[in-house]
Amino acid sequence: MSWFSSLFPFWKPVTLPREGQDGTILHAFCWSFDTIRKHLPEIAEAGFTMVQTSPANRCFVGESGGMDIYGKGKWYYHYQPTDWTIGNYQMGTKQAFARMAKEAARYGIRVLVDVLPNHTAFERTAVSRVFIDAVGGDDKLYHANGLNLIEDYNDRYQCTTGAVGGLPDVNTENPLFQHYFLTYINELIALGAGGFRYDTAKHIGLPSDPKDAKARRNNFWPVMTGRESVYGLSLAKKQELFIYGEVLQDKNTKEREYAQYIGVTASTYGGCLRHVLEAKDFRCEDLKSWHHKANPKQLVTWVESHDTYCNEGESAHLTDAQIRCGWTFLAARASGVPLFFNRPAGSAPGNRWGNNRIGERGNDNFFHPEVVAANRFRQAMRGERESLFFSPDGSVAEVARGSRGVALVNLGERHPISLPTSLLDGHYTDAVHGTPFLVSRGKLSGIVEAEHAYVLQISRQV
């Protein structure tokens, strides 16, 4: 048990594990387990402390098993479960997962697995008969309301019992389903998983939510976070796990209640940050507030997610340089656990899918020197208070961490800067580009290039 767990008993509102809060997550989107394993040295060298896999469960097979991210195959087929067993044709076998997790442990990297208990595949005939029988038969698999489309996402009954995007909504309150699903979760943990990302988490009811006609209690989250057992089965290693859910913010999302069980996503903040990057002006949004009701230490943050990139291409127009600028700002902050979405290899604005192959490593942006420096800065600045400063024209942001370090982000053109700072007086050399800066009488000055990020730390010449 960690010191953090002993200070915060499990039946009280929790925060993410202390050892995770100063780290960063690489979302290895569409990478196979073998690909992740082969590239763990790069991931570790880039300063990521966690890697998030695509779903590991058996899933729908479309287009005769095509392996395009989009085309003859689909990235979202691995978001259509057909059974809760480890291994699928897109990500790899159970044995490949075990090899990957074992190797990740050697590098001190925590493996987070994307899980999605809320629904099954559209094609219900593809769902495993073994799975259906284990949960009590066809009538017990889905909510009474589970095949009806959600019309009002702020109606909590519809939101937590209805079909999201037409996907049949599983009766997550069925104890037979909970036991079957938890068996899968515990097997992943036994193979080396160190945490989970719960897809469509806000569509799984909380204890305070209205119950489906087939549910006696809304106790999915108490069971899946280890507060309750089901048929004698409990969550393994519950106090060691990093668990967060895709709780997209809306008018009636119950952010605080979800945060009593799991970490939650700061989706509104991501939208604000993308607007800043588009406008090239840090003044156009309030980035000091996290725009969230939960404790900032509960938040998983991002510049973009696989949904903002893939679904409507909402963030796909941003360049890699803009993503790096947003990432540096986000990773340098004291709170929130940042997630870096790895775009497909060969992708660019106007060419969203790039080389378009499921299983392969994504593009090189995750180990660009600016990203690496931001990741290392975050860990080096552990425990240092945060101060934010912005240039008068809004083009430059400074994230100062006590008197020990500063991250600078310039969204505009090349120009000189003069900003307040908490850094000690002296001459500094940026860790990324070797650019010199001067701090004198509480002012940081230097020249910043267009769409560049910089990291200054206490290794200085006075």
Q: Choose the weakest-confidence range: 20-24, 109-113, 380-384.
A: 20-24
Q: Give the model's pLDDT for residue 11.
A: 36
Residue 277's contacts (CB-CB under 8 Å, 6 or more residues apart) are: 303, 318, 322, 325, 326, 411
Percentage of the chain beyond pLDDT 90 is: 92
Residue 9's contacts (CB-CB under 8 Å, 6 or more residues apart) are: none
Q: Give the model's pLDDT for residue 137.
A: 98
Q: How far is CA 296 from CA 112, 390, 402, 452, in A?
A: 20, 21, 19, 27
Is the dihedral angle over the CA atoms 58, 162, 53, 308 positive or is it negative?
Answer: positive
CB atoms within 10 A of CB 345: 17
Q: Where are the domains of the chain?
A: 3-382, 387-457
Q: Give the model's pLDDT for residue 252.
A: 86
User: For 130-150, what is the mean pLDDT?
Assistant: 97
Can you read off the two tokens belonging to residue 126?
């593809």
User: For 135-157, what is the mean pLDDT?
Assistant: 97
User: For 453-461, what is the mean pLDDT?
Assistant: 78
Residue with tokens 């000055």: 445
Q: Is the pLDDT of residue 461 over 90?
A: no
Q: Which pTM value belongs to this model?
A: 0.95
Amino acid at 398: E
Q: Give the model's pLDDT for residue 20.
A: 75
Q: Give the model's pLDDT for residue 111.
A: 98
Superfamily of structural domain 3-382:
Glycosidases (3.20.20.80)
Active site residues per annotation: 199, 246
**Angle CA 181–186–187, to nearest 5:** 95
User: For 310-339, what is the mean pLDDT?
Assistant: 97
Name the band, by pLDDT with cuts 50, 70 and 90, for residue 66: very high
User: For 18-47, what is the mean pLDDT?
Assistant: 94
Same fold, 3-382 and 387-457: no
Q: Is the pLDDT of residue 9 over 70?
A: no
Express each pLDDT in 69-127 by its tens digit. 999 999 999 999 999 999 999 999 999 999 999 999 999 999 999 999 999 999 999 99
Q: Give the model's pLDDT for residue 299.
A: 96
Q: Choose the weakest-confidence range: 3-7, 114-118, 375-379, 441-445.
A: 3-7
- 173 close to 212: Cβ distance less than 8 angstroms: yes
User: For 331-354, what is the mean pLDDT?
Assistant: 97
Q: How far is CA 450 from CA 21, 108, 140, 163, 413, in A?
A: 31, 35, 58, 46, 4
Q: Is the pLDDT of residue 10 over 80?
A: no
Q: Give the model's pLDDT for residue 64.
A: 85
Q: Is the pLDDT of residue 399 over 50?
A: yes
Q: Give the model's pLDDT for residue 437.
A: 97
Which CATH class, in words, describes the domain spanning 387-457? mainly beta
- 144 close to 160: Cβ distance less than 8 angstroms: no
Q: Give the model's pLDDT for residue 333.
A: 97
Q: How far apart are CA 17 and CA 25, in angstroms?
A: 14
User: For 300-329, what is the mean pLDDT?
Assistant: 97
- 446 close to 416: Cβ distance less than 8 angstroms: yes
DSSP state of 411: -
Residue with tokens 């004198």: 440
User: For 52-60, what is the mean pLDDT?
Assistant: 98
Q: Give the model's pLDDT for residue 203.
A: 97
Name the band, by pLDDT with cuts 50, 70 and 90, for residue 21: confident
**Average of per-residue pLDDT values in the chain:** 94
Q: Give the model's pLDDT for residue 459.
A: 56
Can you read off the two tokens belonging to residue 271?
């939208």
Name the band, by pLDDT with cuts 50, 70 and 90, for residue 18: confident
